[in-house]
Structure 1
Amino acid sequence: MTRYSMVLRGAALASALLITGCTAGSGGGSASSGDKVTLTFLTFETPNLDAKYWDAAIARASAKVPGVKIKKLVSPSADRTGYAKQLDSTGQFPDVMIGLNPAGFAESGKLAPWTDKELATYENPHANTYGGKVYQLPYAAQTTLVYYNKKDFAAAGIATPPRTYAELLDASAKLKKKGINPFVVGGGGKDSWADMFPLICTVATDVYKKTPDWLSQRGKGKVKFTDEAFVTAAQKVADLAGKGYVDRAGLSRSYADTEQAFRDGKGAMYPMGSWFSASADAKKPSFDTGVFAWPTDQGAPALPGVLGGGMTVSSKASDVPLAKKWAKAFMEDQKNLDAGVKADGLIIDIKGYTAPDNMGPVYKDTVKAYREAQKGEGIVNSFSQETGDGSLPPGMADKAAAGMQKLLSGRMTAKEFGAYMDEQWDKATR
């Protein structure tokens, strides 16, 4: 489950929109249907979260909230935020949305804030605030880890996962010497967001670990992307590619093809979001998959995490209280939560929730790594995935991904990448 992607052409809006029982031109906003209020619900589909998954979840929530009829809107890509912007520009802003990045929408009053009473069931109710208000239900955490091929590690004589960055480089060298590609990284076409994971990890270890509010400081002009800390993080990624530890020929792969490349044994390590754990358990590769956190220089934990991802409600919905009630019913339903855990490897952050006992080993190892980092105060922000105050300006995540393609391919140096990011920041905040 991701929040990135390409900007879609407005001309494709009507033809690309899928709505249960209707088309985009049928109104888009809330309307009454007999004794029911019709609400549009914007979601997305992935190989993990397909139409069957969403339809079942919608039905469960609707059964708990009489008087609501849901029209499902499906984003043509994983970028439901970009799609919501397009719908908003044509007067079709959805009533309820899941996984939306609230930035911009919250500040302009387009979203209804959640009250403390409505957030009482959440472990971290005030995660991702905008001006002190919460606009997205903080129901689940996701993190970025390194998934690795245990067979490849054994073949290269690597007994245990690396615990320091020096050990990561040593492991990469041993793998390459054995003729094994160390890292699988992709991000071609509309899936440029997928190339960000190595940088997400190095910014976590080299920037956010030392300065947790670094991006807020960037907003105040106290730091820049051309400063040593960020350039060092970018340089680590550039060096991995420059040493041949990242297969540059694979950078053009789509997200799905990149995952398949790892499954097919075309690389030993796969830096990726924790949602991969569900895929690895549901359809086990021909090898055992291990998990470790991208290591810092000294070995202290610095795991990039995102908490949120839940429902947002339009402030202009025809019945905001009913829309909120349905959104909470969807988000807090036990079967819906279990389905999200099984399909997308979610780490649920709702009080009293326990994951199903039959979850697979990769998911369990993923959760273990996350919880261990939590205990050691090792969870930091996830660069380009931040939400709430102190996040990237809207649109900059896509710019960062485009720059990463050049950094990884050797067409841009780390210093040039830092300058590029400062330039994009200035353009986005004028």
Structure 2
Amino acid sequence: MLTLSIAATLALTACSTSSPTPAGTSTLSFLTFETPALTAQFWDTSIADAQKATPGVKINKIVSPSADRNAYAKQLQASGQFPDLLASINPKDFIDAKLLMPFDKEWLQANFLQPEANSIKGATYIPPTNSQILPMVFYNKDIFAKNNISVPKTWAEFVGVVAKLKAAGVTPIELAGAEPWSASMPLVGLVSADVLGKNKNWVADRYAGKTNFTDANVVAAVQKQRDLITAGAFDKGALGVNYADANAQFLAGKAGMYPMGSWFIGQIKPEQAASFGTFMLPTDDGSLVVPFNVGGTTAVSAKAADTAKAVAFAKAWSLSPNNLKALIESDGAFPMFKNIKLEDFDAKVTPVYTDAFALVGQENTKVSSIGWVTNDDAMPPGVADLFYAVSQQLFTNGDVAGQLGALDKAWDKAAVK
């Protein structure tokens, strides 16, 4: 039944034409996903742009039925339909099975500011084309001004802002709680700031058995999220709100703050930009920690129908100025090209974008955004999903240490070769 279901999905989502495929053309499948920013039109346009630079390639687009494209890719793998190209997956879920091809280092060095940023044991499976900060805390300037609230610099001040907004009858924090990945944003910010902010090597140390999720500093960071929940920082129905609805609610002034990845910048229209700003989730002592992720899109299957053309298409897609311009404008992507500066893209951005992008070039404490990076600091296969889910479980389960202990067990099991 699984195979039949996936086959049906592939048939419905693949881009095809009735015209015959020219001789010498390779047909490649490309697993994509759709969001309010990365629409079907975006993928169709970006694919067409890359095809111009890769003659002899026909793309069958596959759309993941959910935001969890890793899980869907695994389903396709199980049914013998692993895609030739994959958008924004976590390589660690697939490299042990030797399913992905690394990109050549000379090409990476020639084109990107941080060519090794996505490296896993010395190999890069996703080109480091752009970067993100996640989460940032977006806030409604009008609501803050109306209630005489200043941007908090410390965790104590942040808790005070939550109390003031709640007293004013405003939902303090918007949360897209229905989907684990989006529900995880406050937790990702807290652990990145409070744990990795003090030990950038925490993930490597966890692999080495030197640290644990049950360590006191991790428990304290996660307890902050539980405390926010019990303090009423989130709407009572937060676990029923999906990402698209959370975006709409926050932009409509239904909440004072919204922890979300910097890609949310693309959802803020120019005419709304004056009403919104961003700050980083504060630490106890007010030190600035920026959870950072150098990302990219196109991973290539080692078992692609034509690996040479798959690599050529992936490179063309990744180096396309048109594609990155679209990502800058619609998805708040921060470009990481070596030879093209932001102004060269001629992208239309708001002050919210430029203020956030400034953090990328500043000398500040950048750490891996825990659970999101696709390099050596990535969690073992499947563990990131469990980490995200803790954000939801904290609404009904106050046993913080117990939930983190379960994460330790899952990590140890998944990390065993």
Task: Return the TM-score normalized by structure 2.
Answer: 0.92
Distance 1:320 1:203 in 2: 39
Aligned counterpart, 1:25: none
Find out whether 1:304 has 2:291 as its counterpart. Answer: yes
Q: Which of 92, 98, 112 matches 1:122?
A: 112
Aligned counterpart, 2:392: 405
Contact 1:238 1:410 in 2 (8 A): no
Instruction: Report the secondary structure of 1:179's partner residue.
Output: coil
Q: Which of 349, 354, 367 matches 2:357?
A: 367
Aligned alpha-carbon RMSD (Å): 2.1
Aligned counterpart, 1:267: 255
What is the one-letter code of the residue matched to 2:355? D
What is the one-letter code of the residue matched to 1:187? G
Q: 1:283 deviation in Å?
A: 7.3
Find out whether 1:389 has 2:379 as its counterpart. Answer: no
Q: 1:35 deviation in Å?
A: 2.1
Find out whether 1:167 has 2:157 as its counterpart. Answer: yes
The 5 A counterparts of 1:284-295 are 284=272, 288-295=275-282
Distance 1:9 1:308 in 2: 31
Distance 1:380 1:126 in 2: 15
Instruction: Report the secondary structure of 2:116's partner residue.
Output: coil
What is the one-letter code of the residue matched to 2:7? A
Where does the alignment leave 5 or more consecutive residues of structure 1 unmatched?
Answer: 1-7, 23-31
Task: Return the TM-score normalized by structure 1.
Answer: 0.89
Q: Which of 194, 204, 213 matches 1:216?
A: 204
Q: 1:357 deviation in Å?
A: 5.1
Q: Which of 339, 343, 363 matches 2:326?
A: 339
Find out whether 1:136 has 2:123 as its counterpart. Answer: no
What is the one-letter code of the residue matched to 1:13? I
Find out whether 1:85 has 2:80 as its counterpart. Answer: no
Aligned counterpart, 2:27: 38
Distance 2:167 2:2 in 1: 45
Q: Which of 180, 186, 191 matches 1:192?
A: 180
Aligned counterpart, 2:412: 426
Q: How many residues align?
A: 407
Distance 1:360 1:193 in 2: 26
Aligned counterpart, 1:145: 136
Contact 2:184 2:389 in 1 (8 A): no
Instruction: Report the secondary structure of 2:131's partner residue.
Output: strand
Distance 2:38 2:271 in 1: 14
Q: Which of 40, 47, 51 matches 1:58?
A: 47
The C-alpha deviation readout for 1:161-216, integer Å capped at 9, x for no partner, is 1111122112222222222221111221xx22211111111111110011111122
Contact 1:181 1:267 in 2 (8 A): yes
Contact 1:403 1:420 in 2 (8 A): no
Aligned counterpart, 2:6: 13
Contact 2:295 2:373 in 1 (8 A): no
Q: 1:9 deviation in Å?
A: 6.5
Q: 1:371 deviation in Å?
A: 3.2
Q: 1:282 deviation in Å?
A: 5.7
Distance 2:384 2:377 in 1: 14
Instruction: Report the secondary structure of 2:259's partner residue.
Output: strand
Contact 1:182 1:269 in 2 (8 A): yes
What is the one-letter code of the residue matched to 2:240? S
Aligned counterpart, 1:75: 64
Instruction: Report the secondary structure of 1:114's partner residue.
Output: coil
Contact 2:213 2:407 in 1 (8 A): yes
Q: 1:150 deviation in Å?
A: 0.8
The C-alpha deviation readout for 1:251-287, integer Å capped at 9, x for no partner, is 22111111122123221000001111010136738x7
Distance 1:289 1:404 in 2: 25
Instruction: Report the secondary structure of 1:200's partner residue.
Output: helix
Contact 2:329 2:348 in 1 (8 A): no
Instruction: Report the secondary structure of 1:138's partner residue.
Output: coil
Instruction: Report the secondary structure of 1:221's partner residue.
Output: coil
Distance 2:390 2:93 in 1: 23
What is the one-letter code of the residue matched to 2:317? F
Contact 1:100 1:309 in 2 (8 A): no
Aligned counterpart, 1:105: 94
Contact 2:155 2:286 in 1 (8 A): yes
Distance 1:197 1:357 in 2: 27
Distance 2:8 2:346 in 1: 39
Aligned counterpart, 2:147: 156
Instruction: Report the secondary structure of 1:225's partner residue.
Output: coil
Percent identity of paired positions between Structure 1 and Structure 2: 38
Distance 1:11 1:244 in 2: 45
Residues 319 and 353 (structure 1), Cα distance of their counterparts in 2 relative to 1, 3 Å cut: farther
Distance 1:353 1:228 in 2: 43
Q: Which of 198, 215, 229 matches 1:227?
A: 215
Find out whether 1:179 has 2:169 as its counterpart. Answer: yes
